[in-house]
C-alpha cells in the first residue's frame, strides 16, 4: 500500500510533560486508521502536530511525499489536509452554506467563489444538511454542528481527513447517521485518521488501529488483534469482558 502520511519518530514536550515520545506510524491511502488511548495519551496533540497548530520538537511529518514539519496550517490545508475538532468551531454567524464555501475556498483546490459554492453544496448533501443550508450555524443542534464541521472539511477536497471525536455527545440514532456519513466519505476516496472513544464504533470503522499510552505507541494492528492484546486490555479497554464483547461484534 502507498503511504499518504508518515509520522516519523516525532517528539513533543510541554514543559516537564512528554506528550509525544519518539512516535512513528503511517496512514495508507484509502484506509481508515483509528487512533485510540486513554485521556491524556497525546491523541489531539498528534492532530495538532499534523495540521501545523503545534511545531514538533524533533522528527518528521510527511504528507503525500512532502515534509510538512514546521509548515503553517493554511499551507498544509492547500496540500490536502482537513480536520474537525473535538469542540466544534463553526463560524457561528454564517450560514451552513457560507461556512462550507469558506472551507472550499481555503482547501486543496483553492477554488474561486462560484466553484467553491458548488463544492460546498455537494459536501452539504453528503452529510445530510441540504435542508439547513440557509440556517445560521449557531442555530444548529450539536449533531448538526458536527455534521457542519465535517461538511466544511470535506468541501476543501482533502486527501486526508482528521476526525477528532465526531461521535462524542451524539445519541444512538445520530451516531448511526454519522457512521454512515463517514462511510460515504471514505467511498469518495478520502483517507481518514480518526480519534474516537466509542470502541464499538471505531472497531467497526477502522481498517487498522494505533493504540497510544503516555505519548508512546502501545500497539498497532487490525481491530481483531487489538482487542486481544493484553497490553491494550490492561491500559485502555479495562477488562477482558469488554474486549470479548468488542471481538464478538467485530
> 39: pLDDT confidence band, cut at 50, 70 and 90?
confident
Let me know whether 60 and 14 are in one domain.
Answer: yes
Whether residues 204 and 99 fall in one domain: no
Tally of domains within the chain: 2
The three state secondary structure string of 146-164 is HHHHHHHHHHCCCCEEEEE
Q: Residue 76 is part of a domain; what is its CATH number?
A: 3.40.50.300
Same domain, 64 and 38: yes
Report pLDDT for 229.
Answer: 86
- Residues 211 and 227 grouped into a single domain: yes
- Does 163 lie in the same domain as 223? yes
Same-domain check for residues 196 and 144? no
117 and 167: one domain?
no
Q: Which of 115, 139, 140 is nearest to 123 (CA)?
A: 115
Closest CA to 196 of 154, 176, 167: 167
Three cell numbers, residue 97 = 452554506
For residue 246, the model assigns a pLDDT of: 46
Q: Residue 144's domain spans which residues?
A: 89-158
Specify whether 107 is located in the same domain as 120: yes
Question: Residue 49 in 3-state DSSP?
Answer: helix
| pLDDT at residue 231 is higher than 90 | no
* pLDDT reported for residue 245: 46
| Whether residue 98 sits in one domain with residue 68 | no
Residue 86 has pLDDT above 90, yes or no: no
Same structural domain, 106 and 203: no
Mean pLDDT along residues 221-250: 68
Residues 120 and 218 in one domain: no
Q: Identify whether residues 74 and 195 lie together within a single domain.
A: yes
Which pLDDT score is estimated for 237?
A: 63
Amino acid at each position: 500500500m502507498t503511504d499518504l502520511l508518515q509520522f516519523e519518530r516525532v517528539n513533543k514536550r510541554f514543559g516537564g510533560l512528554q506528550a509525544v515520545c519518539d512516535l512513528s506510524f503511517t496512514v495508507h491511502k484509502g484506509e481508515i486508521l483509528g487512533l485510540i488511548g486513554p485521556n491524556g495519551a497525546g491523541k489531539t496533540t498528534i492532530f495538532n502536530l499534523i495540521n501545523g497548530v503545534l511545531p514538533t520538537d524533533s522528527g518528521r511529518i510527511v504528507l503525500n511525499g512532502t515534509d510538512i514539519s514546521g509548515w503553517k496550517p493554511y499551507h498544509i490545508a492547500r496540500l490536502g489536509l482537513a480536520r474537525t475538532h473535538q469542540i466544534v468551531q463553526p463560524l457561528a454567524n454564517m450560514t451552513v452554506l457560507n461556512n462550507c464555501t469558506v472551507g472550499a475556498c481555503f482547501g486543496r483546490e483553492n477554488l474561486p467563489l462560484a466553484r467553491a459554492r458548488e463544492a460546498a453544496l455537494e459536501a452539504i448533501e453528503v452529510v445530510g444538511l441540504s435542508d439547513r443550508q440557509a440556517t445560521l450555524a449557531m442555530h444548529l443542534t450539536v449533531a448538526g454542528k458536527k455534521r457542519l464541521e465535517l461538511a466544511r472539511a470535506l468541501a476543501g477536497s482533502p486527501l486526508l481527513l482528521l476526525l477528532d471525536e465526531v461521535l462524542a455527545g451524539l445519541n444512538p440514532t445520530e451516531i448511526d447517521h454519522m457512521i454512515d456519513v463517514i462511510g460515504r466519505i471514505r467511498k469518495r476516496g478520502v483517507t481518514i485518521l480518526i480519534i474516537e472513544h466509542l470502541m464499538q464504533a471505531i472497531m467497526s470503522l477502522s481498517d487498522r488501529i494505533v493504540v497510544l499510552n503516555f505519548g508512546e505507541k502501545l500497539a498497532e494492528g487490525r481491530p481483531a488483534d487489538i482487542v486481544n492484546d493484553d497490553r491494550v486490555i490492561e491500559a485502555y479497554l479495562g477488562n477482558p469482558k469488554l474486549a470479548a464483547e468488542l471481538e464478538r461484534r467485530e
